[in-house]
Amino acid sequence: MFGMNNHNDTSQGSVLRFGPYAFHVRQRLVLAGEQPLRMGGRAMDILQVLLEHAGEVVSKEQLIARVWPTSIVEEINLRVHIAALRRALGDGTNGQRYIIHVAQCGYSFVAPVEQGTCEALTMLAAALMPLHNLPARLTPVSGRDALIGSLVRQMPVCRLMTITGAPGVGKTTVALRVAELLLQYFRDGAWWVDLARLEDDKPLLDHLLHALKTDFFTLTGRHALLVLDNCDHQRDSCAVLVETLLHAAPRLSILVTGREALHIPQEAVHYVPLLAIPKRSTLNSVEEAMGYPAVQLFVNRARARQQGFSLRQQDLPGVREICRQLDGLPLAIELAAAQIDALGLIGLQAQVENGLQLLGQGRRTAEPRHQSMAAAIDWSFQYLTEMEQRVLLRLSVFSTGFTLEAALSVISSVDLAGSRLSAIIEGLARKSLLIQEPNRATARYWMLNTVRRYARDRFERSDDRLELQQRHARYLSHTRNASRRTLLAQAVE
């Protein structure tokens, strides 16, 4: 990738031959003998990508990213153009096959390709190589225009930026959209590496160079944007790698996503907020409700699943309640809206309070952690320490916000007391699994409904559940009585 982006070395005469056809690369022309084939521009683009990877399987996502780099298209568009390309080549006639579909994987060009010289093939690869490897977005980004605009303006002058936020809030979506918009700024493009896929102990730098198909020397000389996605379980190694790259590659900018910041010099941290939800008092019209990003996202996804879906005035309270129960989390809203055709709006509202079971039927092509809300939270939960996991589950006993004092009174134990418990709670907030309410004299925390349901499902199976519920009830009773005494004393005065 990085090592082959030299477009000045291409040749006007590069030709690849397969079957009775000659593909003239630079002229974007396919000849059958001396007769040019009638082929649409998208079909020609697809042919170029498949020839570049002849004999290999190219995923649908790769094809969409290469052929529609700045557009949002559905998979059906790809299938239509593949079919047109096959018809143009007479694929399958007289027993000759050119393009095959590999189930659950993608497409492969399987016919022998004749090349005049090795140089011609190298020139072809260089001519066809893109300046990015960003995955294609199949849906538009909703409710993030202001945030994305701010990040795009800052990124060229800020060499390290970290995007944090709760599970399912759309950190990857925001990062990829920023990278798309900055493609023209970085001479050597934008490159995405998903660190969530790394499972062995191989050094992170080696993984990075392998993913980018380059070497360290070449990488350090590039003017490019590097997106390191999902650094949570590699956070310490990622911090070391980023510091190394910032020092060795002066023209490289790095965009990181994760639940927690890297906490290193030069880092600018941006928190992705929950999507805004209308208040009950603002449900005066459909137009007014559609001004809120959470409602926009729900309606857009519902329309994609149920033909003819239209938001009506009488639907507004139900849609608002669904979005509120789901915290304004984009992933949760998308997963819920995907059930609209099966449950209808009334049924969906009735079911959304039943836990995370409803939020478990995402796109099969999505990453496993994005196919259900429980999987998204579990991916974060599994990288907590045993003590952090224990505290998070215990905190689910609070159905509303709580202070550190309340937590110490209700969930503390011999090994979880005082400053240790306080430090763990503060750490969970840094990891975006608790929300700290800003601008308060006394620190107050709360848990997203989706996170609380996940934690409570696990907490219900614990041995100390009944004891903590009783301690919570006593604390609430004590707090109410103390409030009454304060009010009575004030009245007497």
Tell me how far apart the terminal alpha carbons of the chain are, to the nearest angstrom: 77
Q: Is the dihedral of CA 278, 282, 285, 287 positive or negative?
A: negative
In the prediction, which pLDDT does 160 show? 97
Tokens encoding 459: 């907490």
Taking residue 150's Cβ as centre, other Cβ atoms within 10 Å add up to 12
For range 215-224, the mean pLDDT: 92
More confident residue, 9 or 358: 358
Q: Is the dihedral of CA 347, 353, 357, 360 positive or negative?
A: positive
Given a cut of 70, whether residue 133 has pLDDT beyond it is yes
| Cα 410 to Cα 474: distance, rounded to the nearest angstrom | 9
Fold designation for 2-128: Arc Repressor Mutant, subunit A (1.10.10)
Query: Model confidence at 6, in pLDDT bands (50, 70, 90)?
Result: very low
Q: What is the pLDDT of residues 62-120, one digit of tens each?
A: 888 888 876 677 788 888 889 889 888 988 777 788 998 888 788 999 888 886 543 44
In the prediction, which pLDDT does 369 show? 62
Contact status, residue 346 vs residue 374, Cβ threshold 8 Å: no
Three-class DSSP category at 35: strand
In the block, residue with structure tokens 């990085």: 2
When mean pLDDT is compared across 6-15, 156-165, 241-250, 450-459, the lowest value belongs to: 6-15
- Mean residue pLDDT across the chain: 84
When mean pLDDT is compared across 165-179, 216-230, 247-261, 334-348, the lowest value belongs to: 334-348
Least Cα distance to 219 among 194, 252, 196 occurs for: 252
For range 286-296, the mean pLDDT: 92
Return the CATH architecture of domain 384-484.
Orthogonal Bundle (1.10)
In the prediction, which pLDDT does 371 show? 67
Contact status, residue 354 vs residue 391, Cβ threshold 8 Å: no
Domain segments of the chain as ranges = 2-128, 145-271, 280-376, 384-484
Tokens encoding 467: 């004891």
Q: Which amino acid is at 246?
A: L
Q: Looking at 242-364, which runs of residues are DSSP E strands?
A: 252-257, 267-271
In the prediction, which pLDDT does 386 show? 94
Judge if 2-128 and 384-484 fold alike in CATH terms. yes
Q: What is the pLDDT of residues 362-401, one digit of tens each?
A: 455 456 565 688 888 998 899 899 999 999 999 999 988 8
> The domain 145-271 belongs to what CATH superfamily?
P-loop containing nucleotide triphosphate hydrolases (3.40.50.300)
